[in-house]
Amino acid sequence: MLSEDHHLRTSLQSDTAADDDDEHPDSNASGDTDGGYRQRQKKKKKKGRRLSQWKFKVVATVESDGPNDSSTDVIGAIAFDKSNDFFATGGSARKIRVYAFQSLSKEDVFFDDEEEEEEEEDADQKLRRRRRLQRKIMLPMDRKPRATNHSSSSRADHTSSCCMTEICTPAKLSSLKWHFERDNIIGCGDYDGVFAEWDIERHIAVSEKDEHNGQRIWSIDYSAERPSLCASASQDGTVRMWSRSSDHSVALLHAPNHSPVCGAEFAPCSSFLLALACADSNVYVNDLRKLSTPVLTLSHHKRAVSYVRFLSKDRLVSAAIDSTLKLWDVSSCVQNSPMPPHEVNHDDDESGTSHLSNILQRQQQPVKTFGYHQNARNFVGLSVWAEGGLIACGSETNEAFAYDCHKDGEPILRYDFGHHFNSVPKGLGSNAGRKQSSSSEEQKSLIDDKQQGRLMVSAVCWRQKESECTLVAANSVGVLRLIKGFF
C-alpha cells in the first residue's frame, strides 16, 4: 500500500504549507519546442498525423523486483536526454536509473528513415556520443533485456541489463531533468528540499544546494535558452533560480498567497518566462526580470494544479487534481514581454509589469479541457509531444491516457496497466468506445478495486522525436512500459 507520503492532499489548496503526510512525487520531462515548430506542423498536416484513429502497442516492459510492494518503488519522474537515446527515472526507491531506449525497444527506431540522408552527419555524432557514454558506464551496446513469451514486446526487471546504470540518492526523488549541455549531468529535486546535480558517469553529486528550508522540491526545470539556469519549485511556496556559476540561488520568486508550488517550467522560446502550477488552483506565468507580479494568471481549475507544460511557444497545458487537463493560449504573454532582454532584475518597481498583468487577466478562458482520466489526490504525471500535438497523463485508475490537442472529446489512448503483463492498450477512435464499454457496475467495481490497492500510473514522458510517437509510462508498483503509437 502506498505511503501517505505519496498523496497530493486537498489541503494543498490552502494558503499554508501542507503536512509531512503529503503526496507522491512526480515531474516529467517536457517537449522542447524550437523555432521550426510551425513548419513541422505544416509538414505534419501533409502526412496526415491528425487522423482520428490511432493504434498503440507495448514494445517493452520493465518490472520492479518486488511488484507486490507498492510503497518501495513508486516511479515519480521520467526524463529523456537531449538526444532522446537515453532516459532516466526516479522516485521513492531513492535511485536514479538510466536506460538506453534502443536496448529496450525491439524495433529499430534510432534513426529517422525519411531524414537519414539529410542528417547523416548529425546521426554519426549521436552514435559516437552514445558509444562514448556507454563505454564510460561500462555497458556493452549489444546487451538486451530478457525476453518472455507473454507477448511480442520485450520484458525485463530494473536490475537486469536493460538498466545501464543505477545511482543511489540520499532521499526520495520528486523530479529529475537532464542537463541540456552537459549530457552526463542529471538534475534532481528531492523530499529533503535539496537540488542536486548528479554525474552519471562517476556516480557522484557534483553539486548540492539546500535553500528550501527542508521543504520538498516538487519540480525542477532547466532553461533551454540558458542551460546554466535552473528553477526549483517547492512546498515552501517559493521558486529558486540556480546558476552553475553560483553556490547560492540567484533569484527568489514567491508564489501568490504563499501557496505550495507543485510545478515549474521555462517557456521554450524564452529564459525569462516561467510557468508555475500552484496549490491555490491557479497557474501563473512570471517574467524573471520582474519577480514581484505574475504577468498572467490562469484560474479555471477547481483544485490544486500539479503540473504545467509548454506544448509550444504560445500553448500551455496544465493538470490539476480536479481530474482535468486544460490547454491555454499564452501568445499575448509571449508577444508582450514587458521589458527588453537583460539579466534577472530584483527591482520591486511594478511599473509596466502590473499594467501588462491587468491586460492579460482578461484572457483566462482555456482553449480546451480534457477530463476522461481520474486524478483527485495524486501526482500522476504530465507530458507533451510538441511535434504531434499530443498530451499524456496518468490516472488513479492505473491507466495511461493520451489526448490530441487538435480534437475535443475522448482520449486517443487509454492503456490499462492492470495486474497482468499482457494488458492490451486501447487506441480510441470511432469504434473504440463500444469495444471498451461495459456495465456501470463492472466499471465501478474495477475502479474501486484499483483505488483500494492504490494503484495508479504515476509518471509519463513522450520521446521527443519528429517521426515517431513513443510514450514511456510508469505506475506505482515500479512497472515501466514503452508504448508506441501508429497512425
Q: CATH code at 222? A: 2.130.10.10
Q: How far apart are CA 88 and CA 86, in angstroms?
A: 7
| Integer Cα distance of 60 and 106 in angstroms | 7
**Does residue 218 lie within any of the structural domains?**
yes
- At 335-380, the pLDDT tens digits run 655 444 334 444 444 444 444 444 444 457 899 999 999 999 999 9
Confidence bin at 433 (pLDDT 50/70/90): very low
What string of DSSP letters covers 217-266? Answer: EEEEEE-SSSTTEEEEEETTSEEEEEETT-SS-SEEEEPGGG--EEEEEE
pLDDT top residue among 271 and 121: 271
More confident residue, 165 or 425: 165
Is 80 contained in some domain?
yes
- pLDDT at residue 279 in the model: 97
pLDDT category of residue 391 using cuts at 50, 70 and 90: very high
pLDDT at residue 437 above 50? no
Residue 384 has pLDDT above 50, yes or no: yes
Between 456 and 466, whose confidence is greater? 456
Average confidence (pLDDT) over 310-337? 88
Residue 65: C-alpha distances to residues 6, 93, 156, 158 (Å): 20, 11, 10, 7
Is the per-residue pLDDT at 387 higher than 70?
Answer: yes
Highest mean pLDDT among 63-77, 320-334, 372-386: 372-386
Residue 228 lies in a domain: yes
pLDDT the model gives residue 465: 87
- Say which residue, 317 or 63, is predicted with more confidence: 317
**pTM as predicted:** 0.74
What total of structural domains would you count in the chain? 1
Report the C-alpha gap between 318 and 231 in whole angstroms.
18
Residue 275 within any structural domain of the chain: yes
Quickly state the pLDDT bin for 460 (edges 50, 70, 90): very high
SS3 120: helix
Tell me what pLDDT residue 129 has: 60
DSSP state at residue 12: G
With a cut of 90, say whether residue 385 has pLDDT above it: yes
pLDDT at 184: 94
Q: Hey, what's the cell of 395?
A: 490516472
Residue 331 forms part of a structural domain: yes
Helices (H), 268-419: 331-335, 353-360
Range of the domain at 282: 4-46+71-379
Q: CA 450, CA 227: separation in Å to the nearest integer?
A: 41
Highest mean pLDDT among 70-74, 292-296, 354-358: 292-296
Residue 201: per-residue pLDDT: 93
**Does a structural domain hold residue 452?**
no
User: Residue 381 in contact with residue 321, Cβ under 8 Å?
Assistant: no
Averaged pLDDT of the chain: 76
Mean pLDDT of 174-183: 94
CA–CA gap between residue 381 and residue 394 (Å, rounded): 6
Q: Report which of residues 306 and 126 the model is more confident about.
A: 306
161 band by pLDDT with thresholds 50, 70 and 90: low
Is residue 471 domain-resident? Answer: no
pLDDT of 127 reads 60
Residue 205: is its pLDDT beyond 60?
yes
> Per-residue pLDDT averaged across 323-344, rounded?
69
pLDDT tens-digit profile of 101-157? 988 876 443 333 443 444 455 666 656 665 555 554 444 333 343 333 334 455 655
For residue 171, is pLDDT > 60?
A: yes
- Given a contact cutoff of 8 angstroms between Cβ atoms, the answer to whether 279 and 262 are in contact is yes
**Cell, residue 6:** 505519496
pLDDT of residue 106: 60
